[in-house]
Structure formats: structure tokens, C-alpha cells
Amino acid sequence: MIALSVITLSFTSCSDDDSSTLENENQEQNENENPAGYAMTVKINGVLHNMQSIFGGNHASSSIYTAYPDEDYIFLQGSWVDSPFAKEIDIFISRDDLQPGTYYVNQATYETATHIDLIDNTNSINETTVSGQITITEVDTSAKTVKGTFEFDTADYPQGEENPTVNYHLTEGTFSYEYDVE
């Protein structure tokens, strides 16, 4: 009876170890696909923020902006995990730019090309992207995934100002999204 208990315990322990190992391998594989485990990450003025799509996960959103129609742009929207809807980052990738490369952004790219914005819903001041870049590092058109990095600076709606005061300095940004998800 004791021998049977020991054998049963051994099989149970091995079984747990195998599922645990498989679970760890799956987690490592998912982390390699998106190292941070979030759809988007960024440091804002030196503080790290993790983001997901506003609907959770890493699916691209449908655009509500007429200047960025879905047939011409992929809309990647990231909302803070720790305080949803307080702030978000919106990346608009022109389908013509859906390939590895670096795309520079500034006030002139708004509503005309691949662009990125910070939306700060904690105040009534509009933030404007003054300068930055989006680098697409990987596109898989079969799996419909896009990954990359970004950095940019924003100022309080500096229409026409030559040297606006930067409020937010966004660095070390990453994104990993699925697009055209049905």
C-alpha cells in the first residue's frame, strides 16, 4: 500500500513538472513574440507605462478619425493598464508604410502620413506631437502582425510655435499588434 502511494505520488509529481515546464515554454515563446507582454510600452518623462488595446489584448482598433480611414491606415491604440482611459497613445500607420523602416513624425505629418499622438484625458489641454519617429521592425502579412519601436515629444497645442515647450518626452516605446482582426 505504501509502495502504491509512493508510485502514485511520483507520477503526480512528474505530471505537474511536465505541465509546468510546458507552461513555462509557452510563456517564454509568448514573451519572445512580445517581450514586454503588453501591446505597447513606453517611458514618459522617464516613468515606464504598460498599455493594451482599449479593448484589451493587442488587436488594432477601427479608426474613428476621417483623416485616417481603415482602408488607408492601421490604427494602434494603447491605453494605460494601471489607469485605463487616463492617457493613451495612438499610432496611425499608413498601409503604404507597412514594411520595416523608420518614419519621422512632427506637426506636418498629422492627418497626412504615418503619425503618433499622446492623448491626455486628465486635462483639457491638447497635446501635439512636435517631433519623433516610429520604427517598424517586423511585419508579417500572413499573420497580420506589426511590431516596432517609437519615441516622440509633445507640447501643449503649439500651433505655429517655432520652439514649443515640451511637456512629455516619450522614449523606449514598443508595440506589437495584430491588425485586420475580424
For 90-100, what is each residue's pLDDT tens digit?
999 999 999 99
Looking at per-residue confidence, does 159 or 19 come out higher? 159
pTM of the model: 0.77
Cα dist from 162 to 67, 88, 118, 133, 155, whole Å: 25, 26, 20, 19, 12
112: cell is 497626412
pLDDT of res. 3: 46
pLDDT at 25 over 60: no
Cell 505537474, located at residue: 16
The answer to whether 124 touches 93, Cβ cutoff 8 Å, is no
List the one residue out of 133, 122, 134, 131 whose CA is nearest residue 164: 131
Cell 519617429, located at residue: 133
* Average pLDDT, integer, range 140-162: 89
pLDDT of res. 163: 80
pLDDT of res. 123: 81
In this structure, is the dihedral angle defined by the CA atoms of residues 31, 45, 97 and 121, taken in order, positive or negative? positive
Note the pLDDT tens digit of each residue in 34-92: 445 899 999 999 999 999 998 778 999 998 889 999 999 999 999 988 776 788 999 99
